[in-house]
Structures are given as structure tokens and as C-alpha cells.
Structure 1
Amino acid sequence: MRLIVLGCSGSGPGPDAPASGYLVDTGDARLVLDLGNGTFGALQRHLDPWELDAVAFSHLHPDHCADFTSLVVHRRYHPRPPYDPAARPLPVHAPAEAPDRFAAAYAPSAAERAETDLTDVFTFHALADGGMSGVGAATLTARRVDHLCEAYGLRIDVGGKSLVYSGDTGPCTALVELARGADVLLCEATWPHVMPQWGDEPPTGVHLSGRQAGEHAAAAGVGRLLITHVPSWFDGDELLAEAKAAFDGPVELVAPDAAYDI
């Protein structure tokens, strides 16, 4: 399995990186985990979008899904598609509201929102806590995590290898359970653990600190921790150091266009 970082900037694109998006090649299938602002352009540096086999969204905040509308345009209006997209609709694994939310984002006006239907080129599959789906030979497993909206951590297993993506989450046992024994945990670390406005502990139910990302990796017994989703206003090296202090395995801070073999 191979992971390519399309974007990794937290809460929106930064000066040097698109927002969240990751391309995963499982050997016989290629899928994208999230498509935040700017990631569709980055995707085209690494893969012809027509070669995608699935898209999965951890949740529907714009920094994780805004570029889906660009994928709609690509599949509907490309002048020379290699196949009929209506005959081969692309599977989209996402929270239950995705069809309506994406239609609203794509609709040219509020009046046309109710009439906008994207199922001519996509098939939508609602994620559920503990739900499993097949993407080629790989298994995609979702667990509900603790964020401000319906949000999921996602695990990909294929050929005895496993990658877990936290999406956005505060501290939760579900992420530890999902990541148990995984080869790689791609985990958000959005803020420092100690900040004046919240005292000794960050608020719950929103994001992980660098230290908390390391603690979750240690509790799950993962092989390697990859830190992501660092906003442009925080120091990634500071969050990386927090994670390293809490997890004694290999830890890296991801960067746009970086690739990782799993």
C-alpha cells in the first residue's frame, strides 16, 4: 500500500499546502481520503482522476471536502472521458448527509438546489460506526469519532497491511480501537497541548494536540505515526515534538506530495 499526501494543512489551505486530502494506492485500487481546498489540483500531479476507484470522506467540513465540486465538474464535463462516467459511477463513502450537502455546494442557485442530483456520475454509500466496505481487495472500516459534526476515522486493510486515518477528532477510545495494531496511523494534531486560554488540557470533542496524537498511537500500538492537519498558525515542529514525547515509535510530520510505503 502507498500513501501520497495531497494536502495536510489544518482548518483550510495554507501558504505551502492545500487542506486535507490523501491518495491511497492499495495495489489493485486507488482511493482518495478527503478532498479539501486545493487537493483536486494536487491529485492531478499524481493520478489521472479517471483512474480513481473510490472517494471516502471522514466528515463534511469544507477543509476536508470542498474540492468534491471540482471532481463533479471533471466527471460531468470533461470533453474526452476515457469511459462513460454514467456507466461507471464513482463510489463515494461519506456521512449520510453527503448527497444533499454536495448537491447544495454544486447547485448554481438556491432555487435549483432541490433539483440537483449527482447520482448520474456517483454512487453514495453512507458510513456507519463499525461499517465495512470493499474497495477492490481492500477493506474500508469506519468508526465514529468525537468531532463537531458526524465524523469518522477510516481504516484500510489489504494484504496484511493497515493504514488508519483519524480524520478530525478529539480524544476518544474509538480511534484507539480502530487503530489497534495498525502499521500506520495518519493522525491529526491541530494545536499545542498547553495554551493560556484552556489551562492544563485542551477542550474535548474538537481536535487532538500533538501530545494526544502520540498518546493515541501508543495506546493503539501502531507501528508508525504520521502527524497531519497542522494549521498555518501553529508550529508543526512543536506538535511533532509533543507527539514524539508521548510515542516511542517512528513519528513524522507529513508534507504535501510526500509518499509513504506501508
Structure 2
Amino acid sequence: MRFTVLGACGAWPEAGQACSGFLLEHDGFRLVLELGYATVPRLLQHVEPGDVDAVVISHGHPDHCADLNPLLRARALRDDPSAPLPVYAPPGALDAVLALDRPGMLSDALDLREFTPGDDFEIGPFRARTRLLPHRPVNAGVRLTAGGSSLAYTGDSGPGPETVALARDADVFLAEASYVDSVPADSVEHLSSARQAGRQAAEAGAGRLVLTHLLPGTPHAAALEAAAGSYAGRIDVATAGFEIDRW
């Protein structure tokens, strides 16, 4: 499995970066996990629009799904339209982004496959295991396994036992860490910190921790230090262009 970060900013993209978006490749199959703001231009540095085989979206916040619109446009508005793109998302998560164009304009470009968090299914060579993790709106954490390698991803999520269970013994734990230490009181049940991500990675026995969704301006060194307080394995901060190749 090969993992490439298209973007990883929380809420809005910093200059030169993008919001959540990740490209996973295995046996020639290209799966995109999240399509937040500014991810499509970076995706197209790696693949042609029609070469994306499937997309998985964790929840409906625009920093996780807004760039589904330009990807569908790039596949549909051409002389040789691509086949409908399988897109997996919780029910209703994509209603807003799909309403950006006139009704029916992109219908032939999309094969929407809604799932309930808790469902397990196959996506090409990937086995997807999804779980409901705490956030507003409904958020699906997802664990993707292919070729004996596994990546667990939280989407946006408050800490809890469900997250640890999803990441149990995963090779890579891609964990939302919007804050360094403490999460504001109004978000404490729905978002996480780097310190909490480190604790959960240690409890899960994950092989490697990658912090994502840091809010713009968050010092990366501080986030790494906070996570390392509990987790002794390798820790990285996801930024556009970061790769893990064939683990």
C-alpha cells in the first residue's frame, strides 16, 4: 500500500496547503480518502481525473468533501466522460456539495454508495471497516486493509474506546489532532488533541502515528512533543506531499 497526503489542514487550508485528502494505492487501484478544500489540484499532480477508482468520505463538513465537486466536474465535463465514480459516504453527508450544481448535471459522473457507520465492505483490493466515532455531524472512522497492511483513520472525532478499537494494531494510525493539548469546552466531545492522539495510539498498539487536521497556525513541533508524551513509536505530522511507500 502507498499513502500520499494531498492535504491535512483542519477547517481551512493554509497558504500552499490543502484540507483533508489522502491517496491510497494498491495493485494499481487508486482510492481517495476525503476531498477537502484545495485537494483536487494536488490530486491531479498524481493521477488523471478518470484514473481515480473510488472515493471515501468520513462526514459532510466541507473541509473533508468540498472538492468532490471539481473532481466530478473534471470527469464529466469533457468530450470523453469518465465512468461513474464510486463514492462511499454516510447517508446525507454529501447533500450540500452535490447541490452546488444544477440538478442532474453531474448525475452520470457519480455512483453514490451510502453506508451506515458500522458497515464493512470491499473497495477494489481494499477491505473497509467503518465505525461511528463521536463528531457532529455523523462521522465514520474507517480502517482500510490491503495486502496485509492497514491504515486506521478517525475523520474528525472526539476521543473514546471506539477510536482505540478501530486503530488496534494498525500499521498506520491517521488521527485527527486539531489542538495540541486541550480542546475547547464546546468541542471536547467532538474533536481531539495531539496529546489525546498519542494516548490512543499507545493504547491501540498502533505501529505508527500520523497527526492530521491540525488547525492553521498550530506549531508542528508542539504537536509532536505532545503526542510523544504517551506514544513511543514514530510520529509524523501530515502535510501536503508527505508519503509512506509500501509499508
* TM-score, structure 2 as length reference: 0.93
Give me the whole-angstrom Cα distance separating, in 1, the residues matched to 2:94 and 2:60: 11
Q: Give matches, 1:166-181, under 5 Å.
A: 166-181=154-169
1:38 aligns with 2:38: yes
In the alignment, what sits opposite 1:134?
122
Gaps of 5+ in 1: 108-114
Give me the whole-angstrom Cα distance separating, in 2, the residues matched to 1:259 and 1:248: 21
In the alignment, what sits opposite 2:153?
165
Number of residue pairs matched by the alignment:
246
1:232 aligns with 2:227: no
1:146 aligns with 2:134: yes
**1:253 aligned to which of 224, 237, 240:** 237
In the alignment, what sits opposite 2:225?
241
Distance 1:194 1:165, change over 3 A: closer
Contact 2:7–2:238 (CA<8 Å) still a contact in 1?
A: no
The structure with more radius of gyration: 1
Q: Give matches, 1:62-211, under 5 Å.
A: 62-79=62-79, 81=80, 84-85=81-82, 88-98=83-93, 100-107=95-102, 115-116=103-104, 118-194=106-182, 203-211=187-195
Contact 2:117–2:139 (CA<8 Å) still a contact in 1?
A: no
Gaps of 5+ in 2: none
Structure 1 moving runs of 4+ over 3 Å: 115-119
The aligned amino acid for 1:179 is A
- Please state how far the C-alpha of 1:117 moved relative to its aligned partner: 6.3
In the alignment, what sits opposite 1:24?
24
The aligned amino acid for 2:204 is A
- Please state how far the C-alpha of 1:134 moved relative to its aligned partner: 1.2
* TM-score, structure 1 as length reference: 0.88
Q: Deviations over 1:44-91 (max 9, x none)?
A: 111112111100001110111111110121111023x3xx53xx3111
Contact 2:65–2:94 (CA<8 Å) still a contact in 1?
A: no
Give me the whole-angstrom Cα distance separating, in 1, the residues matched to 2:93 and 2:72: 13
Aligned-residue RMSD, C-alpha? 1.7
